[in-house]
């Protein structure tokens, strides 16, 4: 099976947000019930020395979902940066698993965004693998 096999219905391929996402992708996205969802098929390249996906990949997936949620809710002439991110790792993901980070914007102010979400295996009714929350600061756009 390749990473692009068996992508759940409704997800579309996301353009990489930069060189890092080119290395770890492909990533897929959709909007579901006012939440931003980013999904991925876990591949061998995402694995730690053991058999499971590296914790940094979980954080990348959550941060990417929150970034996209924040971009949709920030002023058009501003950028956003992650200022804090908290997570609890609950279960592992293995190569071949489809996982999704589903982010809810809790509050979108003029200078700060508060977000939270869950990473699940297999979609909305799947096993919870991680919970997360973060604060993003609204900043001037760098050109």
pLDDT of residue 3: 45
Give the integer Cα–Cα distance in Å for 27 and 3: 10
Give the model confidence (pLDDT) of 24-79 as tens digits. Answer: 889 999 999 999 999 999 998 888 888 898 988 899 999 999 999 998 888 778 88
The alpha carbon torsion through 70, 76, 82, 83 (nearest 10 deg) reads -120
Would you say residue 3 lies in a domain?
no
Question: At 6, is the pLDDT very low, low, confident or very high (cuts 50, 70, 90)?
Answer: confident
CA distance 65 to 70: 9
Nearby residues of 128 by Cβ (< 8 Å), 6 or more positions away = 90, 91, 118, 119, 120
Please report whether residue 42 resides in a domain: yes
Whether omega for the bond prior to residue 26 falls within 30 degrees of 0, making it cis, is: yes
Q: Does 62 fall in a domain? A: yes
129, 93 contact by CB (below 8 A): yes
Between these two residues, 15 and 92, which has the higher pLDDT value? Answer: 92
Task: Give the domain range for residue 70.
Answer: 12-140
Residue 5, domain member (yes or no): no
The answer to the question of residue 76 being in a domain is yes
pTM for this predicted structure:
0.88
Number of folded domains that form the chain: 1
> Residue 27's closest CA among 56, 45, 7?
7
């Amino acid at each position: 099976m390749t990473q692009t096999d068996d992508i759940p219905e409704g997800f579309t391929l996301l353009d990489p947000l930069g060189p890092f996402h080119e290395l770890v992708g492909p990533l897929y996205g959709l909007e579901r019930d006012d939440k931003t969802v980013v999904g991925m098929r876990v591949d061998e390249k995402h694995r730690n020395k053991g058999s499971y996906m590296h914790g940094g990949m979980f954080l990348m997936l959550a941060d990417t979902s929150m970034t996209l949620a924040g971009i949709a809710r920030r002023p058009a002439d501003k950028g956003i940066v992650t200022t804090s991110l908290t997570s609890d790792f609950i279960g592992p993901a293995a190569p071949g698993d489809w996982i999704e980070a589903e982010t809810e914007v809790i509050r979108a102010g003029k200078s700060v965004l508060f977000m939270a979400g869950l990473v699940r295996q297999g979609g909305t009714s799947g096993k919870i693998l991680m919970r997360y929350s973060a604060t993003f600061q609204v900043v001037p756009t760098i050109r």
